[in-house]
Amino acid sequence: MTTNIAMIGYGAMGRAHAMGYRDLQHHYALPADTVRIVGVATTRRESAEAAAREIGGAEALTDYRTLLARDDVQIVDLCTPHDSHEEIVVAAARAGKHIYCEKPLARSVAEAERIAAAVRTAGVRCGLTFNFRYFPCVQRAKQLLDEGFCGHIFSFHGRYFRASYIDASRPMSWRLRKSSAGGGVLIDSGAHVVDFAQWLVGGIREVRATLDTPHRQRPRSAGSTELETVDVEDMAFVQLRTASGAAGTLEVSRMATGATNDVWFEVRGQLGAIRFTLEEPNWLFVYDARANAATRGWTRVETVAKYDGAVMPDWSQPVGVSRTHAECQYRFLRSIWDGNKSGATGTPGIDDGLRVQHIIDAAYRSAEANQWSTVHE
């Protein structure tokens, strides 16, 4: 049986998703026609045609509604700016299509709630691209935490550092405008570490945030001398408290000089601690406080590319970000093929997207009021 996918949007993330679908047949020894991208829609004809040529065998369109009307399309893969998510996801759900949506779910809680209502009413599934969950070492961290390895949790700390906006001459884009993005680095890259926090330790009840934008004006376009005000943050510093009493911090920046793609989290508890860093993605670092004091210390736990059922690449080969995209997509597809609810396979779905949106919303309210803010759900 072939699962046909329609892609809407084809920038960097669209290409990453297309790569993931293509690679699944090799990762899991699937027939070549198990997953097919049958159409791609972008806002410009030339970009749609270029994407279709790259994908091979896909119809190129500028109106995504044409793809939603196709009876042979089962899944819509959405890789567009945040301001279009509500319109497209709601339309796809009403057309009876499952949706695989790039994070974040929306620009605001109100939009996310309307998306969730449409998805639930239609009875379709909506998966979120929280692909960093699918490093094997992160999966092992979740397993250990669920088994109580750390005992009572004291703290969670997470960060996502990039240096992509330190150049003040970098021009404006939709990511730097609140109207299109809903916020800045916190709602964009930061959605990943917020997801780590809510998925690994859960129960986040209060947050306090400070936001900053070092370059408050940028060229309106490449080579332009006309400047535009940046109305979103490029750095976010967030304190958090959980219902169980744990405290924590989240720090997100695209002004982190010296960083490339630095993602990191640490969980500390009464019985042990766990640490993940994207700079060493083949290992999980664990500390067992119950071990013999003479030899106790941080241990590198071998995880590498250990994916259940995968046949290629060999488990011992280094893992990378593109593999996590493919795995996140595969888990979403399996939840549909097997008829399981999203949570049954651990696939990030609509509830996860909503939780992340509520936490981010609380952080923005906190920064505006300069006080702790309750996370509403």
Whether residue 194 is predicted with pLDDT greater than 50 in this model: the reply is yes
224-281 pLDDT, tens digit each: 999 999 999 999 999 999 999 999 999 999 999 999 999 999 999 999 999 999 999 9
Mean pLDDT of 165-184: 97
The burial class, CB within 10 Å (0-12 / 13-18 / 19+), for 137 is: buried
Whether residue 300 is predicted with pLDDT greater than 80 in this model: the reply is yes
Mean pLDDT of 302-325: 95
Token pair listed for 306: 């250990």
pLDDT at 274: 98
Query: Residues of the chain with pLDDT > 90: what percent?
Result: 96
CA–CA separation, 26 vs 43, rounded Å?
A: 32
pLDDT at 124: 96
Domain boundaries, the chain: 3-131, 133-315+348-374
Q: Pick the closest to residue 51 from 15, 96, 91, 105 (CA basis).
A: 15
Question: Dihedrals φ, ψ of 235, to 5°?
Answer: -140, 140
Token pair listed for 301: 């736990």
CA–CA separation, 157 vs 217, rounded Å?
A: 31
In which band, very low, low, confident or very high, does the pLDDT at 1 lie, cut at 50, 70 and 90?
A: confident
Using DSSP, state whether 104 is helix, strand or coil: coil
Residue 224 and residue 254 in contact, taking contact as beta carbons nearer than 8 Å: no
CA–CA separation, 104 vs 82, rounded Å?
A: 7
pLDDT at 342: 40
Tell me the HSE value of 149 on the side-chain side, using a 13 A CA sphere: 20
109-119 pLDDT, tens digit each: 999 999 999 99
Token pair listed for 226: 């006309």
Token pair listed for 89: 């996801």
pLDDT at 251: 98
CA–CA separation, 160 vs 234, rounded Å?
A: 12
CA–CA separation, 99 vs 376, rounded Å?
A: 25
Decide yes or no: CATH 1.20.950.20 for domain 133-315+348-374.
no
User: Could you tell me where the beta strands, DSSP code E, fall in the chain?
Assistant: 3-8, 35-41, 59-61, 75-78, 98-101, 126-128, 153-161, 204-212, 217-219, 227-229, 235-242, 247-253, 262-269, 272-277, 283-288, 299-302, 373-374
- CATH fold of 3-131: Rossmann fold (3.40.50)
CA–CA separation, 18 vs 15, rounded Å?
A: 5
In which band, very low, low, confident or very high, does the pLDDT at 94 lie, cut at 50, 70 and 90?
A: very high
Give me the residue label for tokens 């490339």.
260
Least confident of 22-26, 56-60, 73-77, 342-346: 342-346
29-44 pLDDT, tens digit each: 999 999 999 999 999 9
Q: Pick the closest to residue 129 from 348, 361, 345 (CA basis).
A: 348
315-372 pLDDT, tens digit each: 999 999 999 999 999 999 999 999 855 443 458 999 999 999 999 999 999 999 999 9
- The mean pLDDT value of the chain amounts to 96
Mean pLDDT of 189-216: 97
* 313 upstream amide cis, omega within 30 of 0: yes
Pairing of strands 283-288, 126-128: unpaired
Give me the residue label for tokens 């119950």.
290
Query: Amino acid identity of 153?
Result: I
CA–CA separation, 172 vs 230, rounded Å?
A: 8
pLDDT at 343: 40
CA–CA separation, 90 vs 172, rounded Å?
A: 29
Residue 375 and residue 204 in contact, taking contact as beta carbons nearer than 8 Å: yes
